[in-house]
Amino acid sequence: MNTKLQTPIDYLKGVGPNRADLLRKELGIHTYQDLLNLFPNRYLDRTRYYKINELQRNSSEVQVIGKIIRFREVAQKRGKRLVATFQDDTGIMELVWFRGQKWIKDSLKVNRPYVIFGKTNWYNGTFSMPHPEIELLDEHKKSLRSAMQPIYPSTEKLTNKGITNRVVSKVMQQLFLDTKNRFAETLPEHLVSELNLLSKSEALFNIHFPKNQALLAKAQFRLKFEELFYIQLQLILKNLIHKSKIKGVTFDKIGTYFNTFFNNYLPFELTHAQKRVIKEIRSDLGSNAQMNRLLQGDVGSGKTIVAFMSILIALDNGFQACLMAPTEILSVQHYNGLLEWCKKLNIRTELLTGSSNTSSRKKIHKELENGELQLLIGTHALLEDKVKFKNLGLAIIDEQHRFGVAQRSKLWHKGEAVNGTVIPPHILVMTATPIPRTLAMSVYGDLDISIIDELPPGRRPIKTVHRYDKNRLKVFGFIRDEIAKGRQVYIVYPLIQESEKMDYKDLMDGYESIARDFPAPKYQISIVHGQMKATDKDYEMQRFAKGETQIMVATTVIEVGVNVPNATVMVIESAERFGLSQLHQLRGRVGRGGEQSYCILMTSHKLSSDSKTRLETMVRTNDGFEIAEVDLKLRGPGDIMGTQQSGVLNLKIANIIKDKEILQSARYYAKKLLKEDSSLTLPKHQVVLHTYKQLSKFKNIWNYIS
């Protein structure tokens, strides 16, 4: 390892205390190592020298070899500009300076060969280049400057304080001179040769001073692969350690509850995907390691029944289970959905939310501790210290991205204590927000992932169309036809948090125009929005669910988990204001019965290109994973993970969206290596162990995940 790399940046020639301070504050550069890892954003191709007669009128950056044959000053509105006539053997062009003229005129020589570089303009039949970079041809040939000129990340403050790209390049050259370009190899020899990678030193040199495109591409590949390889290594190792060190309760029997439900009460034949996932969960639960599994399935794919069957396995083994959901509406819905089956199977189950009253809370607390209560369903209320289980064996978390890490670990500590150590419950995390495979590999790489990727039989795909505001009368006509067939309709308005008043106004204007077109008593309309009391919301929701109203006008309150099988039309107003995953979630509110359902996206005519992409994607596909991939491209990984985790992928050079193939390859090789040598003790893996320890010391890659 080059020991110099931990030297503070202040000691590098050409930096000094003031510049060091700026580099620390603006770019987080504290040491030589940090500077070395400041990778260029892009490169200017200086491999090519243009002739003046080859210049194009597209104002691109070019370099030309020639000489100045004369200077002249030209008066303009304010002051004057200096113009030099520059010539090569094919023609002439002009160089222009609006400031610093005296110094320029004194320091540049006529009739000496120069290399100029800059952006060209086409003006009055001649090419001109304002404020070119200019250097004597002899000097140019001598300098270490690469043919592909790197452009480094910067900030306004750095530029204003004179730390230009040129200064950063100079400092970088100094760094390579100081360290003699000797950097320790961080990947094992067999991997470097198998994948035909550049060595670490070559890669670093060619990322900062590439001689040509081909070497640059090889350097980028090598460094991206390495970055992703170590992230995968850390995640997979964490999973292995988890499985070997963190013991779980062994559920070794499938008993009466499971079998009775399976044979007598299963409401429909399970899909292949559901069977596969239940098998994966069963093998986890019987393995004596703690289960830590993420269950992904699109809206309506039947995750709840898989969760319920997992609960039955816990109960069959004499343990309690709990199911936690992010909102009261959703937990009430889970409770009502499972209550029927629990009654048939004689399972004691209760609901605990923020609005449970004191007497029922006390009863729940008591019955949980003495083990009478077998299944508890609820919201964050489950996490309170007063909630103590007799023996919690399985905890299921729905829509996990809405819970913080601290909250999840609280649930973990509610497991059973054996000889003073808490045995954590098995954890099953469910989400209907499909996480693109690339992101799942990087962010949830330490969880085992199960995917339900087919819909239950009898579910018809929802037909989605995009209509403009001018088609509104036709849309209303279509709604009337559906209501005449006895169906129900959602009409959803966007919510823009900043201005609740405006949202309320939009919603009320919409409601009034709908009430005019669908007059009472023939039509009944429910309305639900964020400013209503919870009891009023529930009352309106219930009216709609019972079929007493045919139209539900709402803001996005209904996004998660409302289940009305008779609703077949979802109209989304101002659909361009919604994100893709939100549109997909809303669409999932219909199509829950056997009838053909429709989703109508209403927009104005003015649409940004991103909005168009979102709408086209919605119309084209019902596949949540495909939608999530498009969403990831449009929004970037940070947004999808939610702000609390936007720092998740603080990558130096790789980009998990564009470098999907490299990520997959890195994961494959990390797995392969750990399969052969999970403790990294073989001599040939010493370098991996060393690098891994260094990385863990300097940055704890995402230790807060799951």
Whether 489 and 608 map to the same domain: the answer is yes
Q: Which residue has the higher pLDDT, 44 or 172?
A: 172
Segment 339-392, tens digit of pLDDT: 999 999 999 999 999 889 999 999 999 999 999 999 999 998 999 989 999 999
Whether 509 and 553 map to the same domain: the answer is yes
Determine, yes or no, domain membership for 544: yes
CATH of the domain at 558: 3.40.50.300
Whether 579 and 482 map to the same domain: the answer is yes
How confident is the model at residue 68, as a pLDDT? Answer: 96
For residue 551, what are the β-bridge partners? 489, 525
Whether 386 and 479 map to the same domain: the answer is no
Burial group, residue 642, by CB count within 10 angstroms (0-12, 13-18, 19+): exposed
Whether 381 and 468 map to the same domain: the answer is no
- Report, as an integer, the average pLDDT of 538-558: 85
Determine, yes or no, domain membership for 240: no
Determine, yes or no, domain membership for 35: no
Per the structure, the complete domain to which residue 602 belongs is given by: 463-621
Residue whose token pair is 């013991």: 247
Whether 617 and 496 map to the same domain: the answer is yes
Q: What is the DSSP letter of 262?
A: I
- Report, as an integer, the average pLDDT of 580-597: 86
Number of domains in the chain: 3
Determine, yes or no, domain membership for 345: yes
Does residue 642 have a pLDDT over 70?
A: no
- Report, as an integer, the average pLDDT of 539-568: 81
Whether 380 and 527 map to the same domain: the answer is no
Segment 117-150, tens digit of pLDDT: 998 988 888 999 999 989 999 888 877 566 788 9
Residue whose token pair is 């999932």: 588
Does residue 319 have a pLDDT over 80?
A: yes
How confident is the model at residue 498, as a pLDDT? Answer: 47
Determine, yes or no, domain membership for 29: no
Whether 468 and 585 map to the same domain: the answer is yes
Burial group, residue 690, by CB count within 10 angstroms (0-12, 13-18, 19+): middle
How confident is the model at residue 433, as a pLDDT? Answer: 74
Whether 497 and 397 map to the same domain: the answer is no
Segment 62-78, tens digit of pLDDT: 899 999 999 999 988 88
CATH of the domain at 134: 2.40.50.140
Please give the mean pLDDT across all residues of the chain.
86
Whether 427 and 494 map to the same domain: the answer is no
Determine, yes or no, domain membership for 199: no
Determine, yes or no, domain membership for 332: yes
Whether 329 and 409 map to the same domain: the answer is yes
How confident is the model at residue 704, as a pLDDT? Answer: 31
